[in-house]
A and B are shown apart, each in its own frame.
Chain A
Amino acid sequence: MTGDGVTRDSVTGGGTTGDGVTRGGTAGGGRVVTVETDRVRHAVAVLGRATFLAAVAGFFALPLLWLATAPFDAHPTITASVPEFTLRNFRALLDNPYVLSSLGNSVIQAAASAALVVVLAALAAYALSRVRVPGRDALLYVLLLLSSVVTGTAAMVPIFELATRLDLIDTHLGVILTLSGGLLPAAIFILKDFMDGTPTSYEESARVFGASPLQILRHIVIPVIRPGLATIAVWAVASVWGSFLTPFILLRDPAKAPGAVILYTLYTEGGSPRLDLISTFSLLYSLPVVLMYVFVSRRYGFRFHGGIKR
């Protein structure tokens, strides 16, 4: 066994670390050499991992710098830099008539869509997970496929026409229903996976005690998969909060537009972006989703629980 270690180490050790330890020790004392190279290799691994994680952190932090500095800068440029500190940008922002109302609109649209998505997806995912419906997997995959294609630009014309005919233009409801329809397939897909990972004995136990299916759902299933529901809710809110195209097309009245749309109106008369307002509003607009995420992940843990299994 020791002999094995020496030959392997002298190959890899020579290639990667290249120090004298392996070269010096090939004649005898194989055990010492193995321990030494193992220690070196361990150190290299730890260092490599630390470097990698630092690089990842840097990569993901870099674009965020601007968001952290520009809103407080008296003369914001596009460069992230140590700001000449001011809160004046926030006051200027609040002078824009649509800014505050757009936040309210975002809240209405995001909250209602998330509620709709969570309730409908939970019901559907539960039934699909627990009752054998022929072709349920194929159905889910087809819907998933459609949702990712259609929610892009592809079906904007039909959706506009549809909203016009259903009298949903310029209503929150139109935006809510359209966005929910697009989010539902993925939500059902992920929640069904959560359900599949929950033992059926919970429900059977409740059933033997005489609980009705709705009671089982209310007393057992929903509390047990609450982390999954919370994850879906956050995901739905974040998606709606950031979506631009659907509200842009379905809402004419700027008083009903959400923040994502209003952000693109913060230009000067000359057509150049007003960086002070844009950066400030970006920060303001990001905060609610970030806070919501922090709250939910503290409370329930934000994760795709058992992961998606199939």
Chain B
Amino acid sequence: MISLHGLTKEFPGGVRAVDGLDLAIADGEFFALLGPSGCGKTTLLRTIAGLEAPTSGRVVIGDADVTALPPGRRDVAMVFQDYALFPHMDVTANIAYPLRVKKVPRAEREAKAAETAARLSLSELLARRPAQLSGGQQQRVALARAIACHPAVFLFDEPLSNLDARMRLEARTFLKRLQRELAVTTVFVTHDQGEALAMADRIAVMSAGRIMQVGTPSEVFQRPANTFVASFIGSTPMNLLPGVAEDDGLHVAGAVLPPAPGVAGGEEIVYGLRPEYMDLADAARKDAFAGQVSVVENLGTSFLVTLEVTSPSGDHLVQAVVPEDAEPPPGARAWAVPRHPRALVYRHGALVVP
């Protein structure tokens, strides 16, 4: 178990990369730190590893407060974004390196390295140098090196970012299965929401050194706690349209939608709906956004349609995902009908919980 208490990291110059952060990660959990670049997620990971000393706050791993301990005594293993495989050592020596530091006899550590390598199907490559390996192989060597020392916690910094798109999907599945098998608490950093949703048991979405939401992938995806998370999660960004909650319903971008619980009396709100929950109609409706089709993007089995909506409250872009063969031609008039039960209403940026 990892718990962070009031963790703050301030760099010289006054930049707060991590800002008074509390977090608990359960045993065996596969936990993602997700956020745009510069949000402090890597600094947070490095602070857990002990590579950065926090300005204030505590880091607890297991039952021990490790805040003051050097990285080597925290029983963690880290896989770096560039893998940091030692260029002058072959695969065996790289994997065995943590054991060499622990003064395990050579024969024993080489046997252990070979065993770990076999598990990650690296047996053929034991005598190679890192420069002779592909990106995917390098990643597996880095993983093997982390596994070989049996740590209590794995820390992965952007583990998939150096792989090409196809390898990334393979590695994603592989990594998730590996983590299940090993059942070691794992924290990984990523800027790719798809990666976080696919792999993690739970996700912490970060922005500007703070945690915006912590939850399972479904929670984060279906009920983003605020507009930041709502706009950040999802392969097609959520429609977030400003509107006003009147007594007769929500007035959003020219449409009048059924009232939502918890908001009323002319309050300004943001109406959130994923494009996947938006249907297209070809006749005018009161509860639909009327607009002109400006872009149609092929997503494979479906299409993403962008409508330019002109309304008294301003111009907006509304996106909808429609099944294949149902896409309108660009330039056509169309009406986007929200599936209202799926809608999320935000007030002052935060989700209004009914």
Q: Is the CB of A202 within 8 A of B84?
A: yes
For A210, list chain B residues within 8 Å (CB): 71-73, 98, 101-102
Chain B min CB distance to A226 (Å):
8
A56 to B181, CA, bound (A): 65
Interface residues on B, range: 20 to 34
A73 to B71, CA, bound (A): 68
Residue of A nearest to B49 (CB): A208
Binary contact readout B148-180 vs A (1 if CB under 8 angstroms, 0 otherwise): 010000010000000000000000000000000
CA–CA, A215 to B86, complex, Å? 14
Give the docked Cα–Cα distance between A202 and B51 (Å): 12
Among the 9-residue stretches B75-83, B114-122, B191-199, B326-334, the one with 4 or more Cβ atoms under 8 Å from chain A is B75-83
A211 in contact with B80 (CB, 8 Å): no
Chain B residues within 8 Å of A220, by CB = 86
Task: Tally inter-chain residue pairs, CB-CB below 8 A.
Answer: 59
A220 to B130, CA, bound (A): 14
A202: nearest residue on chain B (CB-CB)?
B84
Contact B82 A209 (CB under 8 A): no
A209 to chain B, nearest CB (A): 4
Query: Do B78 and A208 touch across chains, with their CB atoms under 8 A apart?
Result: yes
- Among A204, A212, A219, point to the contact of B84 (Cβ < 8 A): A204
Give the docked Cα–Cα distance between A146 and B12 (Å). 33
CB-CB under 8 A from B84, the residues of chain A are: 199, 201-202, 204-205
In this complex, the member of A205, A212, A223, A224 whose beta carbon has the largest number of chain B beta carbons within 10 angstroms is: A205
Q: Interface readout for A40-60 with B: 1 if CB under 8 Å, 0 if not? A: 000000000000000000000
Query: B90 CB to closest chain A CB, in angstroms?
Result: 12
**Contacts A199-B82, A199-B84 given: A209-B97 contact, CB under 8 Å?**
yes
Among candidates A199, A207, A209, A219, residue contacting B51 with C-beta atoms closer than 8 Å: A207
B50 within 8 A of A: yes
Do A208 and B51 form a contact, CB below 8 Å, given A202-B86, A223-B88? yes
Beta-carbon contacts under 8 Å, B43-60 to A = 49-51
Contact among B71, B100, B102 with A207 in the assembled complex (CB-CB below 8 Å): B71
**Cα of A215 to Cα of B72 in the assembled complex, Å:** 12
Q: Determine the chain A residues whose CB is within 8 A of the CB of B50 once the complex forms.
A: 208
The answer to whether A205 and B101 have CB atoms under 8 Å apart is no
Instruction: Specify the chain A residue showing the minimal Cβ separation from B100.
Output: A219
Residues of B close to A211: CB separation below 8 A: 72, 101
User: Chain B residues near A173 (CB, 8 Å)?
Assistant: none
- A212 contacts across to B, CB distance below 8 A: 72
Q: Determine whether A108 belongs to the interface, using a CB cutoff of 8 Å to chain B.
A: no
Shortest CB–CB separation between residue B13 and chain A, in angstroms? 13
A209 touches B86 (CB 8 A): no
A204 to B70, CA, bound (A): 11
A205 to chain B, nearest CB (A): 4
Contacting A224 at CB < 8 Å: which of B49, B87, B101?
Answer: B87
Among residues of A, the one whose C-beta sits closest to the C-beta of B94 is: A205
Q: Which residues of B contact A224 (CB under 8 A)?
A: 86-88
Contacts of A199 in B (CB 8 A): 82, 84
Asked whether, in the complex, the Cβ of B70 is within 8 Å of the Cβ of A207, the reply is yes
Interfacial chain A residues near B73, Cβ < 8 Å: 210
Q: How far is the CA of A224 from the CA of B130 in the complex (A)?
A: 13
- A119 shortest CB reach to chain B, Å: 19
A206 at the A/B interface (Cβ < 8 Å)?
A: yes
Cα–Cα, bound, A205→B101 (Å): 12
User: Nearest-CB distance from B30 to chain A (Å)?
Assistant: 19
Complex alpha-carbon distance, A115 and B49, angstroms: 37
- Give the chain B neighbours of A209 by CB distance below 8 A: 72, 77, 97-98, 101, 149
Which residues does chain B contribute within 8 Å of A205, judged by CB atoms?
Answer: 78, 80, 84
22 inter-chain pairs at a CB distance below 8 angstroms, sorted by A residue, are A199-B82, A202-B84, A204-B71, A204-B80, A204-B84, A205-B78, A205-B84, A206-B86, A207-B51, A208-B77, A208-B78, A209-B72, A209-B77, A209-B101, A209-B149, A210-B72, A210-B101, A215-B101, A219-B86, A220-B86, A224-B86, A226-B88
- A: residues with CB less than 8 A from B are 199, 201-202, 204-212, 215, 219-220, 223-224, 226
Q: Using A209-B77, A219-B100 as known contacts, list a sample of 9 further A-B pairs with CB atoms less than 8 Å apart, ordered by residue number in A.
A: A205-B78, A206-B86, A207-B70, A208-B51, A208-B71, A210-B73, A211-B101, A223-B86, A223-B88
